[in-house]
């Protein structure tokens, strides 16, 4: 049995912090995994500001932020490895997306893989998305190859991160797409009252739906498009920011409206794919939002199962899977599926620093 120890690094659009997962992957006739150690390191106000505003940065300064964030990632990865005393063979880093405009042929993740390798001394793979864009794909979502090889027993795999995204197997072919904003919407609303997030959806439960926003948000063109499709911060800010910053709306009511909107978009999409009972694995920080989960469950067909796994997998599934994408890249195996991104072909993506 082949065994590999890989460190996965993930920084998502919700800006919860840097997710780090030390994972063991084994292969006999199929792939298996264990998350050995994992953590989330909250971003300092400095880094939260840098990452939030980076896509406004002049192109000439992007390389500077890329290097600086790479140094930060490498430093945190080295601390984690030293503390756990694990013999990590490979680091795979998603970096942080500062802009993603696939229809314009643009995606950019910062966090120099070269700097991570220089600081840790461990071979590092980064920049997973750019090659897919060059091959005519959306550059996203990338996680579904992991869903296909590690979580195939579920009808649907839902991630409630900065954006909600989903993957499923249709007639032996893995499909996936982004569905809606999720934590990026909740957390931006919460920033109006200087809190990080709405714990368990408690504030949303105290709010009242705002019909005019609920109706307008549900009519955005994106929700009518067929997959492959993906979302970025730019789209979110263009469509939601003015509404959620308006003083005419109360925070609790905005959160209640966002909860209903997100649950609706997720449920409508799934039921359009499978109207009978299904098994749905749910991960990502939004899985701890009890109000949102309750709404999604209520809209599911009778006898459906919405499964919440152990907290380490809820928190760190994306870090686990980017570790896996890096491993597949190091083995020169397919790690990006054209059926998911819309690229010209399946391919093996990622820049290697060794």
Domain spans of the chain, in order of start: 2-138+316-353, 145-312
In the three-class reduction of DSSP (H, G, I as helix; E, B as strand; rest coil), residue 335 is classed as coil
Instruction: State the CATH class of domain 2-138+316-353.
Output: alpha beta
Q: Which two tokens stand for residue 339?
A: 């059926």
The continuous run of DSSP H or E covering 62 comes out as helix 59-84
* d(C-alpha 78, C-alpha 113), whole Å: 13
Q: Which two tokens stand for residue 28?
A: 């006999």
pLDDT of residue 206: 98
* d(C-alpha 45, C-alpha 338), whole Å: 38
The confidence band for 59, taking pLDDT boundaries of 50, 70 and 90, is confident
For the segment(s) 145-312, the CATH number from 3.30.390.50, 1.10.287.130, 3.30.420.40, 1.10.3720.10 is 3.30.420.40
Q: Which residue's structure tokens are 């296909």?
A: 148
Nearest in space to 349 (alpha carbons), one of 90, 127, 102, 115 = 127
The confidence band for 15, taking pLDDT boundaries of 50, 70 and 90, is confident
Nearest in space to 109 (alpha carbons), one of 52, 58, 159, 66 = 66
* d(C-alpha 278, C-alpha 297), whole Å: 11
Domain 2-138+316-353 shares a fold with domain 145-312: yes
**Contact status, residue 46 vs residue 58, Cβ threshold 8 Å:** no
pLDDT at residue 159 tops 90: yes
Cα-to-chain-centroid distance, residue 212:
29
Q: Which residue's structure tokens are 């991630």?
A: 159
- pLDDT digits over 165-187, tens only? 999 999 999 999 999 999 999 99
Averaged over 28-33, what is the pLDDT? 96
pLDDT at residue 300 tops 90: yes
Cα-to-chain-centroid distance, residue 82:
27
Report how far apart, in Å, the C-alpha atoms of 342 and of each of 137, 145, 317, 347 are: 5, 14, 23, 12
């Amino acid at each position: 049995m082949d065994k590999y120890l890989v460190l996965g690094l993930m920084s998502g659009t919700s800006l919860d912090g840097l997710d780090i997962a030390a994972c063991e992957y084994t292969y006999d006739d199929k792939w298996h995994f264990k998350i050995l150690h994992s953590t989330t390191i909250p971003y300092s106000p400095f880094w939260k500001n840098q990452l939030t505003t980076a896509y406004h940065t002049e192109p000439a300064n992007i390389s500077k932020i890329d290097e600086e964030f790479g140094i930060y990632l490498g430093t945190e990865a080295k601390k984690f490895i030293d503390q756990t005393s694990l013999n990590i063979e490979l680091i795979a880093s998603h970096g942080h997306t500062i802009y993603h405009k696939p229809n314009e042929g643009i995606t950019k993740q910062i966090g120099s893989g070269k700097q991570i390798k220089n600081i840790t001394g461990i071979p590092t793979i980064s920049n997973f998305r750019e090659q897919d864009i060059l091959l005519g794909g959306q550059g996203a979502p990338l996680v579904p190859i992991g869903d296909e090889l590690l979580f195939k027993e579920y009808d649907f795999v839902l991630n409630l991160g900065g954006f909600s995204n989903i993957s499923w197997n249709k007639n032996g072919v893995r499909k996936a797409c982004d569905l809606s904003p999720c934590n990026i919407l909740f957390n931006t609303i919460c920033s109006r009252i200087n809190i990080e997030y709405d714990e368990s959806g408690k504030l949303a439960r105290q709010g009242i739906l705002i019909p005019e926003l609920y109706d307008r948000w549900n009519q955005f063109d994106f929700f009518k498009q067929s997959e492959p499709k993906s979302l970025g911060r730019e789209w979110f800010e263009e469509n939601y920011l003015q509404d959620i910053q308006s003083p005419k709306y109360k925070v609790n009511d905005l959160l209640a409206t966002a909860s209903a909107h997100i649950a609706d978009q997720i449920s409508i999409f799934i039921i359009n794919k499978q109207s009978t009972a299904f098994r749905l694995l749910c991960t990502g920080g939004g899985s701890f939002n009890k109000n949102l989960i309750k709404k999604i469950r209520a809209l599911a067909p009778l006898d459906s199962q919405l499964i919440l796994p152990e907290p380490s997998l809820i928190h760190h599934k994306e870090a686990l899977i980017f570790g896996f994408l890096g491993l597949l890249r190091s083995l020169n195996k397919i790690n990006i599926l054209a059926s998911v991104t819309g690229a010209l072909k399946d391919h093996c993506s990622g820049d290697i620093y060794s």
